[in-house]
């Protein structure tokens, strides 16, 4: 029999593309590999508890000061399946469980079962108090994956006559998973991998070794050739000064060794350091000190190089800073907190899109930060950090196109937003209430009083995120509500804070009256949120961003946004110089990773002090790595314009450089860009791109045509094709 195709080739191709787009949008739901599954967010919460309780301060345990949630201890998993023939399934479970086929229990704790042919339902109900209830099922055609349904409350009861009721349909969510794809890869046993590394120098003296690993690093110290009995104390230092200051350093470990035979000892606790000062008793001898470097096995897909070696070094050190701070989750810094802070993590998400494009680390971090209901405080207790959580989801959807996280967490998005909205004052504005930390930035004398414009701005964007997600969830009522609230708040933002004399948004209102105080925060965010008119943007650039009388920013954290705002306005030349001054300034001081704070006015060991402690400052802070994001998004010029890079823009900017080159990862392959003053080369694995640039002469490119509008040339970039454009930079 032959079948005549009922559609033309053109229609067929459209259908193929549609299919691909649908697949791309829901890629995380379409796993076909067996993987361990759990209630969404539960493993992430459990793992983050474990990680966040590893902080120590001079030998004392130092846990977070916010509520830590926990997993549901009892979870019901099920999947409806249909098989042509019976097949054997392997079963692995973390916890005490029952297994049912079509509601009938199989006795005991089966490790293997025969699945019958036909349409059936398999369910597993798992209790686990100490770690997360999780299951792994694998047969030829039935595998545990995120298409399974889970609930913490199955409400399946039986009446006196034996009739069963199950009315929990609305409670089911799709299962959570990561990459535990073997029965033996039990989620509760997960540890980051390690690799042995050697010191670059060891200064060994009597009962004392000062070790230098040559750069900032993280892991477990290994004492080699240990003999004798006694106390060994390790003083860690991100700087040599810190390692040598046995009274003032942040990190130390004391262990008692009893080693009649010579042997090696690896410390239990992972620490951040470049230098280690190992001191030991008379009765102890140690041959040498090495380490096990601990790391997250994420793949570095993004790259960047250019004609300026200092910028290349800045990018490399930024990438290394990100590597060190990308662990089970995106953390703030490796020495001190090692906690998941929403504002810090938000920048890591953005940098990640230009370095690893590792989506699981983003959603894992978002899940850990959100925890569980009820909401009793802002995320990390910080008002602005709650808002970054929402905005992070907005960006995540834009970069990845993945709806799974939104589908799983929309109820928790709603309850967190309800918490925020219920805390507005009578004017509908957010003000710090008892228990709220209004952070904004580490900056001397920064006012947190009253209604801070920056907080309203972040809430407005958060409401826009809610509206976006409400639409994805087909929650029409929610979309209307959130959109209206966002619109209302944006109107107030300009009515209350815009000061025409100052050509800027002012910092706050106190007792209903706007202050005269102009700070950079709300102004720079309004630029890349696109809340300003063209005129306002130019005004703000002149009167705020490039105005030295407005208080300077001294953290890489807020410099991230300041420089982004300037890039968004085409100030790449200026920003390049700023990067060279600021990040280059840290490199000039010997930085091997970027810092929590950098004030060029300070001298020597002053740089290491913070929080009233001589070495309180983190010298390896994720938010120090922003050049990755700035160079990828605003110099290579690549960003998505539709969710998941279905459409995207390439707008290379030399910013005074002779050439730039690099790769930007996307959900399905990379976008390669090379640009000098005469030639642009691009190649993209997937999606539909627009290459945009200015040129003195009409550009030429084989296989492409150009539109010219508003001073820009534009051409379409098809997937999988190499383009070389000859042009002439302005």
In whole angstroms, the minimum distance from the beta carbon of 33 to its own copies comes to 28
Pick from 90, 50, 52: nearest CA to 185: 90
Is 26 a residue that touches its own copies (CB under 8 A)?
A: no
User: What phi and psi, each to the nearest 5 degrees, are found at residue 74?
Assistant: -135, 115
> What number of other Cβ atoms are within 10 A of residue 584's Cβ?
18
Q: Whose structure tokens read 């042919």? A: 117
In whole angstroms, the minimum distance from the beta carbon of 127 to its own copies comes to 5
Scan residues 236-255 and list those touching its own copies (CB under 8 A). 254
Is 121 a residue that touches its own copies (CB under 8 A)?
A: no
Which CB sits closer to its own copies, 106 or 200?
106
Among 38, 46, 180, 560, binds its own copies (CB under 8 A): 46
**Alpha-helical runs (H) found in 371-403:** 383-400
Is 384 a residue that touches its own copies (CB under 8 A)?
A: no
Structure tokens at 182: 């073997």
How many binding residues for its own copies (CB under 8 A)? 70
Cβ-contact 257, 226 below 8 angstroms: yes
Is 109 a residue that touches its own copies (CB under 8 A)?
A: yes
User: With CB under 8 A as the contact rule, which of the stretches 304-312, 355-363, 606-614, 722-730 interacts with its own copies?
Assistant: 606-614
Pick from 296, 221, 389, 341: nearest CA to 596: 341
Which CB sits closer to its own copies, 75 or 485?
75
Is 418 a residue that touches its own copies (CB under 8 A)?
A: no
Q: Whose structure tokens read 């910092």? A: 507
**Alpha-helical runs (H) found in 196-308:** 240-244
330: which strand partners?
Answer: 326
- DSSP string for residues in 579-645: HHHHHHHHHHTT-SS--S---TT--GGGGG-BTTBTT-S-SSBGGGGTHHHHHHHHTS-EEESSGGG
In this structure, the strands spanning 271-280 and 508-510 are unpaired
- What is the per-residue binding string for its own copies in 168-207, x denoting contact by CB under 8 A? x-xx------------------------------------
Scan residues 513-552 and list those touching its own copies (CB under 8 A). none
Among 107, 112, 205, 501, binds its own copies (CB under 8 A): 107
In whole angstroms, the minimum distance from the beta carbon of 374 to its own copies comes to 5
* Interatomic CA distance for residues 238 and 39, integer angstroms: 39
161: which strand partners?
Answer: none
Which CB sits closer to its own copies, 66 or 659?
66
Is 346 a residue that touches its own copies (CB under 8 A)?
A: no
Is 116 a residue that touches its own copies (CB under 8 A)?
A: no
383-400 helix and 359-370 helix, angle to the nearest 10 degrees: 150
Is 12 a residue that touches its own copies (CB under 8 A)?
A: no
Scan residues 559-598 and list those touching its own copies (CB under 8 A). 597
Scan residues 427-466 and list those touching its own copies (CB under 8 A). 434-435, 437, 442, 444
In whole angstroms, the minimum distance from the beta carbon of 107 to its own copies comes to 4
DSSP assigned state of 71: -
Is 374 a residue that touches its own copies (CB under 8 A)?
A: yes
136: which strand partners?
Answer: 92
* Interatomic CA distance for residues 583 and 719, integer angstroms: 36
In whole angstroms, the minimum distance from the beta carbon of 412 to its own copies comes to 11
Binding site for its own copies (CB under 8 A): 46, 49-50, 53, 57-74, 96-98, 105-109, 125, 127, 129-131, 152-163, 165, 167-168, 170-171, 254, 373-374, 376-377, 381, 415, 434-435, 437, 442, 444, 597, 610-613, 616
């Amino acid at each position: 029999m032959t079948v005549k195709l009922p559609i033309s080739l053109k229609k067929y191709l459209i259908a193929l593309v549609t299919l691909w787009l649908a697949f791309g949008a829901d890629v995380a739901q379409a796993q076909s590999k067996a993987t361990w599954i759990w209630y969404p967010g539960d493993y992430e919460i459990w793992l983050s508890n474990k990680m966040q309780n590893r902080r120590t301060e001079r030998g004392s345990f130092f846990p977070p000061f916010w509520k830590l949630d926990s997993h549901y201890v009892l979870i019901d998993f099920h999947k409806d399946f249909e098989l042509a023939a019976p097949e054997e399934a392997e079963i692995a479970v973390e916890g005490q469980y029952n297994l049912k086929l079509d509601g009938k229990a199989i006795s005991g704790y089966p490790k293997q079962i025969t699945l019958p042919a036909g349409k059936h339902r398999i369910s597993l109900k798992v209790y686990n108090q100490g770690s997360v209830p999780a299951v792994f099922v694998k047969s030829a055609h039935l595998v545990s994956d995120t298409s399974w349904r889970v609930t913490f409350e199955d409400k399946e009861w039986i009446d006196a006559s034996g009739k069963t009721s199950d009315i929990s349909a609305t409670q089911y969510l799709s299962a959570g998973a990561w990459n535990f794809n073997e029965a033996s890869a039990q989620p509760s046993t997960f540890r980051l991998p390690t690799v042995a590394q050697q010191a670059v120098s060891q200064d060994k003296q009597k009962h004392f070794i000062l070790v230098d690993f040559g750069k900032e690093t993280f892991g477990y110290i290994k004492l080699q050739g240990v003999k004798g009995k006694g106390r060994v104390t390790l003083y860690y230092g991100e700087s040599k000064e810190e390692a040598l200051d046995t009274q003032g350093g942040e990190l130390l470990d004391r262990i008692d060794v009893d080693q009649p035979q010579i042997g090696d000892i690896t410390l239990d606790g992972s620490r951040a350091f470049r230098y280690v000062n190992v001191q030991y008793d008379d009765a102890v001898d140690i041959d040498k000190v090495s380490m096990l470097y601990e790391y997250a096995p994420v793949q570095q897909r993004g790259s960047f190089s250019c004609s300026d070696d200092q910028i290349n070094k800045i990018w490399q050190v930024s990438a290394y800073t990100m590597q060190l701070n990308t662990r089970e989750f995106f953390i703030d810094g490796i020495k001190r907190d090692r906690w998941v802070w929403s504002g810090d993590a938000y920048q890591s998400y953005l940098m990640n899109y230009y370095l690893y494009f590792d989506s699981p680390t983003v959603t894992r971090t978002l899940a850990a930060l959100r925890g569980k209901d009820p909401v009793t405080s802002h995320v990390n207790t910080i008002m602005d950090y709650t808002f970054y959580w929402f905005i992070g989801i907005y960006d995540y959807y834009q970069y990845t196109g993945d709806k799974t996280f939104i589908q799983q967490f929309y109820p928790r998005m709603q309850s967190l937003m309800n918490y925020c909205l219920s805390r507005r004052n009578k004017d509908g504005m957010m003000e710090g209430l008892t228990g709220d930390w209004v952070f904004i930035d580490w900056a001397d004398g920064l006012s947190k009083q009253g209604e801070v414009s920056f907080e309203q701005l972040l809430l407005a964007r958060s409401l826009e995120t809610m509206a976006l997600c409400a639409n994805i969830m087909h929650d029409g009522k929610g979309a209307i509500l959130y959109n209206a609230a966002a619109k209302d708040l944006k109107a107030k933002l300009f009515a209350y804070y815009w000061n025409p004399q100052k050509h800027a948004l002012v910092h706050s209102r106190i007792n209903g009256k706007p202050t005269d105080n102009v700070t950079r925060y709300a102004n720079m965010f309004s630029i890349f949120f696109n809340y300003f008119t063209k005129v306002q943007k130019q005004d703000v650039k002149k009167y705020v961003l490039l105005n030295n009388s407005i208080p300077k920013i001294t953290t890489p954290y807020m410099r991230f946004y300041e420089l982004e705002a300037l890039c968004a306005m085409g100030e790449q030349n200026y920003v390049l110089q700023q990067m060279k001054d600021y990040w280059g300034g840290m490199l000039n001081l010997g930085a091997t990773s970027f810092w929590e704070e950098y004030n060029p006015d300070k001298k020597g060991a002053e740089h290491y002090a913070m929080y009233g402690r001589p070495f309180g400052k983190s010298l390896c802070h994720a938010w120090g790595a922003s050049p990755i994001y700035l160079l990828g998004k605003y110099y290579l010029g690549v960003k998505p314009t539709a969710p998941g890079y279905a459409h995207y823009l390439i707008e290379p900017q030399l910013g005074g450089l002779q050439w730039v080159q690099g790769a930007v990862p996307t959900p399905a392959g990379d976008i390669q860009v090379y640009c000098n003053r005469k030639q642009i080369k691009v190649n993209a694995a997937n999606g539909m791109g627009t290459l945009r640039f200015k040129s003195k002469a009409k550009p030429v490119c084989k296989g492409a045509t150009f539109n010219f509008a508003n001073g820009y040339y534009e051409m379409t970039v098809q997937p999988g094709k190499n383009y070389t454009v000859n042009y002439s930079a302005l």
